[in-house]
Amino acid sequence: MTAREGNVFACLAETVAAPGAPLPPLARTDAVRFLDRYLAASPPLNRAGLRALLHALEAGPRARGRGRRFRQLDPAARAAYLERLERGRAGRAFAALEAVAKLAYYGDDGVMRALGYDAEAVVARGRELRLRDGRW
């Protein structure tokens, strides 16, 4: 993933997650690193498609006469642009990209803890149950 793709994805994730207190800002999560790992593990065709969507997302507002790239829009204009995209022909593709952005943000350990979910505690409880009940 290029730095530009990561930056476009960060703007997308920030727009769709709209983090506010008590959730951490996007910069304090591993959302962009998640996308890099996700792309590296994806089949080549999927990787190419997601990267193409990021480039289309970045250039789209300018191509549609908005005068600016996606990253240059203010948060409200980005959200409005995404809503218009999802109603168009390519809406499902961009909805899928939005879902990846939400997964990247809300899957971060710090975000999950802020929402009251502690993955380590769940794993520890599962281990304890397996030992106690002799499961597996």
Q: Give pLDDT tens digits for 18-46.
A: 898 899 999 999 999 999 999 999 999 99
Cα gap 135→127, rounded to integer Å: 9
User: pLDDT, tens digit, for every residue of 77-117?
Assistant: 999 999 999 999 989 999 999 999 999 999 999 999 999 99
CB 57 within 8 A of CB 8: yes
87-117: b or e for each residue (b if 16 or more CB lie within 10 Å)? eeeeeebbeebbebbeebbbebeebeeeeee
Query: pLDDT band for position 66 (50/70/90)?
Result: confident
The span from the CA of 18 to the CA of 75, in Å, is 9
Question: What residue type is 111 in one-letter code?
Answer: V
